[in-house]
């Protein structure tokens, strides 16, 4: 088997030289383990944080060691009760073609009539992030005006659609006309193309003449500042991600941060794992909306394990529409 290893800790934007694809020896199965042939591997922005040697909510990748991440694959050998050859599972031994996994750390994919790779996107971690971040962290309600950044991404495109399914007004931002058109087709009421030249704050002031009640932050920086500028009194901000600064050492300068005080804005950070105990709710609603045809899914698929670092780096230049995936 082969796995991507972390070769160097990058400063700034990582490069291909920070990763190395090397052979790994997989052990014979112990009791309670399964062997999985991975079919789909996930690349996610949070993995950039794991390349740094800092304490965080997920431990850093270790230098010279295989990397981890979300994966969907087929069980090819099992010594675990309840798992048989041919079962499709998701687990966290990604960045490799084959894995030996403790069955207790793998989940069989529920049969809800969606393609298997959807469990790495809209019906998996990114989808849960959007759903709980919007409804539970930001307490978004029907009638609210919601602004969401990186709206054409895996998390953002879920936020847009959940918000529309719940009767909210949605303003999104994304880079480029094609992405903006796609997010509009998902139901977004107004879109900001932040690469079109106008500052985000000016564009948002125009797009949100009556202000916003909720901001779902995937970007940070100028997007967060713009959201602060137009936030209504007692607006709620779900601080999900700040991809704008993942590769930068410079803090971004916020001009409107003091509005938090006068406008009583509430900012709440969260990690998707805070909501693991509420998966049933997520599957209930998302399953219903999927059946009703209310949820669209888009994927950007990169072919082959060899291309995995390219897929990962593509997240930071916006090469993906919807969920970025690697297919083996």
Residues that bind ligand NDP (CB under 6 A): 44-46, 126, 129, 150, 152-156, 174-175, 179, 218-219, 240-241, 243-244, 270-272, 315-316, 318, 320, 324
Q: Supply the DSSP string of 75-109, one letter for each residue.
A: EEEE-STT--TT-EEEESB-SBSEEEEEGGG-EEP
Q: Minimum Å distance from CB 201 to ligand NDP?
A: 14
- Residues 170, 164 contacting (CB under 8 angstroms): yes
- Residues 272, 293 contacting (CB under 8 angstroms): no
Q: Minimum Å distance from CB 165 to ligand NDP?
A: 18
The strand pairing partners of 191, in sequence order, are 172
Q: Minimum Å distance from CB 33 to ligand NDP?
A: 28
Strands 266-269 and 323-327: unpaired
Q: Minimum Å distance from CB 64 to ligand NDP?
A: 25
Q: Which is nearer to ligand NDP, 66 or 220 (CB)?
A: 220
DSSP label of 137: I
| CA gap 222, 146 in Å, rounded | 17
Q: What is the CA radius of gyration of the chain?
A: 20
| CA gap 74, 191 in Å, rounded | 39
| CA gap 238, 69 in Å, rounded | 24
Q: Which is nearer to ligand NDP, 73 or 220 (CB)?
A: 220
Q: Which is nearer to ligand NDP, 154 or 226 (CB)?
A: 154
Q: Minimum Å distance from CB 32 to ligand NDP?
A: 29
Q: Which is nearer to ligand NDP, 57 or 167 (CB)?
A: 57
DSSP label of 62: P
Q: Supply the DSSP string of 166-221, one letter for each residue.
A: TT-EEEEEESSHHHHHHHHHTT-SEEEETTSSS-HHHHHHHH-TT-EEEEEESS-H
The strand pairing partners of 146, in sequence order, are 170, 214
Q: Minimum Å distance from CB 299 to ligand NDP?
A: 10
DSSP label of 133: I
Q: Which is nearer to ligand NDP, 103 or 325 (CB)?
A: 325
Q: Which is nearer to ligand NDP, 117 or 129 (CB)?
A: 129
Q: Minimum Å distance from CB 19 to ligand NDP?
A: 19
Q: Minimum Å distance from CB 45 to ligand NDP?
A: 4
Q: Which is nearer to ligand NDP, 256 or 270 (CB)?
A: 270
Contact partners, residue 198, CB within 8 Å, separation at least 6? none
| CA gap 306, 55 in Å, rounded | 29
Q: Which is nearer to ligand NDP, 80 or 267 (CB)?
A: 267
Q: Minimum Å distance from CB 31 to ligand NDP?
A: 33
Q: Which is nearer to ligand NDP, 43 or 305 (CB)?
A: 43
**Residue from 101, 117, 97 nearest 306 by CA:** 97
Please identify which residue in the block is written with the tokens 């991507």: 4
């Amino acid at each position: 088997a082969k796995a991507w290893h972390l070769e160097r800790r990058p400063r700034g934007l990582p490069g291909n030289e920070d990763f190395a694809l090397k052979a790994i020896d997989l052990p014979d199965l112990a009791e309670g383990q399964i062997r999985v042939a991975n079919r789909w591997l996930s690349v996610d922005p949070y993995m950039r944080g794991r390349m740094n040697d800092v304490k965080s909510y997920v431990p850093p990748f270790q230098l010279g060691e295989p990397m981890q991440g979300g994966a969907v694959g087929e069980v090819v050998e099992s010594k675990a009760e309840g798992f048989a050859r041919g079962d499709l599972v998701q687990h966290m031994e990604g960045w490799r073609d084959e894995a030996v996994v403790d069955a207790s750390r793998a989940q069989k994919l529920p049969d809800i009539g969606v393609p298997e790779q959807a469990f790495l996107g809209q019906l998996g971690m990114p989808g849960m992030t959007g759903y709980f971040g919007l409804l539970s962290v930001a307490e978004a309600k029907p009638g609210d005006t919601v602004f969401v950044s990186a709206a054409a991404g895996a998390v953002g495109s879920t936020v847009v659609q959940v918000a529309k399914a719940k009767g909210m007004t949605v303003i999104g931002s994304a880079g480029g006309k094609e992405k903006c058109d796609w997010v509009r087709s998902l139901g977004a009421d107004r879109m900001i193309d932040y690469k079109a030249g106008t500052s985000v704050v000016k564009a948002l002031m125009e797009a949100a003449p009556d202000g916003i009640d909720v901001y779902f932050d995937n970007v940070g920086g100028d997007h967060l500042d713009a959201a602060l500028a137009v936030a209504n009194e007692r607006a709620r901000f779900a601080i999900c991600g700040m991809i704008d600064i993942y590769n930068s050492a410079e803090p971004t300068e916020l001009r409107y941060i003091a509005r938090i005080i006068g406008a009583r804005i509430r900012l709440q950070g969260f990690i998707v794992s805070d909501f693991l105990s509420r998966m049933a709710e997520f599957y209930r609603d998302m399953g219903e909306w999927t059946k009703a045809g209310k949820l669209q899914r888009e994927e950007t698929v990169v072919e082959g394990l060899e291309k995995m670092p390219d897929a990962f780096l593509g997240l930071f230049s916006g090469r993906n529409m919807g969920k970025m995936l690697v297919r083996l």
